[in-house]
Structure 1
Amino acid sequence: MSSWSLVYAILANHRQPEDVDDNSVINRLWNEASRGKGPFLSEDNTTVVAEDWDLQRLAPLVQGEGETDLSSFPQHDPPVVVRWAATDFRIDGRRRINELVRASAPGPHTVLVLLLGSE
């Protein structure tokens, strides 16, 4: 499975009636995470890489309004993050990260990072 196919499969649970394709799901989630300030993401301008993060790097992605005690499904999928302007934005994985924080699981944990342009 290609990196993009894996991202699309992970984000399939987020599909809404207004989403016309997989890319519209990604961009809707990205628009929410960047508060409408981020550029359009596509396979042409964005690269997907897998990175290993420790818990200290993951935890800030769910602080504040991202905190929840709901369980995730499925637990084996890596969180998905967009890196833009030297900042990491979580677009998927809130529940999974919260479970790792509650379990004090030090890692490393695989994270799929969408690198926009020259990031």
Structure 2
Amino acid sequence: MAEEPGLSDQYPTASPWPLFVALGLALSEIGVFVGLFPVAVFGLILFGGSIAGILTESGYVGRPWPTMLGVGVILIVLAAAFTLWQVPVADIALSNVGTGPLFTRLVAVAVAGTVMIAMGGVASIMEQTAV
């Protein structure tokens, strides 16, 4: 009796993306709520990249790069909105990163969004020039 691993004939193996989505979400929560800047940035990038991967694998999108750009823009918009809503205007300066816990965490979210936009943009350009 020969059994094939996986869920069905359409999906011969299980997807690894749910693990990375969960890991990215957990790391980003730990990083943002505890205030660990590098962990927050890495977790958000892993979370956003995993969302792009799972949407591409499932066939909802053709390529992951536009999704990464979209998630990056959403992160930056959310960070900017919370900054304008919660942080006094006088405290909004790059020299204040590290002094105020809320502003530092919002900068981590914005940095993760910026990195995702850069990754998605560069990969999209490279993909277009390779064709």
What is the TM-score normalised by the length of structure 1? 0.28
When you count strand as a share of all residues, which structure comes out higher?
A: 1
Per chain length, whose mean CA-contact separation is higher, i.e. which structure has more relative contact order (CA < 8 Å, sep 6+)?
Answer: 1
Q: Which has the larger radius of gyration?
A: 2
TM-score (norm 2): 0.27
